[in-house]
């Protein structure tokens, strides 16, 4: 029986790698920004059964970095820098809500289609909404993916799309995690500006 199990495990390992690689290509080329959606679409494209174990998000991110380094090295760094610069501008504008940059724009895997994710910490989501309305800025509401978030506001600038993920002030020192358990990286405006200076 052990002789039959080994090839199956090997096949599963190959499938995970194929899914991660295909998902990365879909994210880089087709504008899919949701890793889970990219993995499911990749498995379908490869003709794999729905029951196939999907790779972790970290495996897809590793493949995405590899794809960008191999095929988008001429454009990708400038693209990430442009999004980070726009994030810096909006974080300065929202400074009273203690914004943090997180997500693909921070980790460097952002594509031209990526949304800039900012975590804000406020007395209430309504406080942020009133601030934006008073500034004449339109926004939409989205469903929070984190159960600790009070709201997610989506807004656009000529340069980028933003998700403003609003948390209660007392959670600012909380360690947020990805769905796979990894700590979610985030940085304040001063750290982002240092990063932009080092990229210049």
Rg of the chain over all Cα atoms, to the nearest angstrom: 19
Q: How far apart are CA 137 and CA 116, in angstroms?
A: 17
Q: How far apart are CA 86 and CA 115, in angstroms?
A: 11
Query: What are the tens digits of pLDDT across the range 137-195?
Result: 999 999 998 889 999 999 999 999 999 999 999 999 999 987 777 889 999 999 999 99
pTM here is 0.81
Q: How far apart are CA 9 and CA 20, in angstroms?
A: 17
Domain architecture of the chain: domains with CATH: 2-71 (no CATH), 76-199 (3.30.460)
Query: What are the tens digits of pLDDT across the range 68-99?
Result: 888 888 888 999 999 999 999 999 999 999 99
């Amino acid at each position: 029986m052990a002789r039959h199990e080994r090839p199956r495990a090997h096949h599963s390992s190959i499938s995970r790698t194929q899914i991660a690689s295909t998902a990365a290509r879909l994210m880089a080329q087709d504008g899919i920004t949701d890793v889970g959606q990219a993995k499911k679409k990749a498995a379908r494209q490869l003709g794999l059964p729905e029951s196939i174990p999907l790779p972790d998000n970290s495996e897809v991110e590793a493949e995405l970095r590899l794809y960008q380094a191999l095929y988008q090295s001429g454009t990708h760094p400038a693209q990430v820098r442009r999004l980070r610069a726009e994030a810096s501008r909006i974080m300065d504008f929202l400074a009273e809500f203690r914004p943090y940059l997180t997500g693909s724009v921070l980790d460097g895997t952002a594509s031209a289609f990526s949304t800039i994710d900012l975590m804000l910490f406020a007395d209430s989501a309504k406080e942020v909404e009133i601030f934006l309305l008073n500034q004449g800025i339109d926004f939409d509401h989205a469903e929070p993916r984190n159960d600790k978030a009070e709201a997610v506001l989506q807004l656009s600038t000529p340069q980028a799309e933003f998700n403003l993920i609003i948390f209660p002030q007392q959670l600012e020192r909380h360690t947020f995690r990805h769905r796979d358990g990894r700590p979610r990286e985030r940085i304040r405006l001063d750290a982002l500006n240092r990063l932009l200076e080092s990229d210049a």
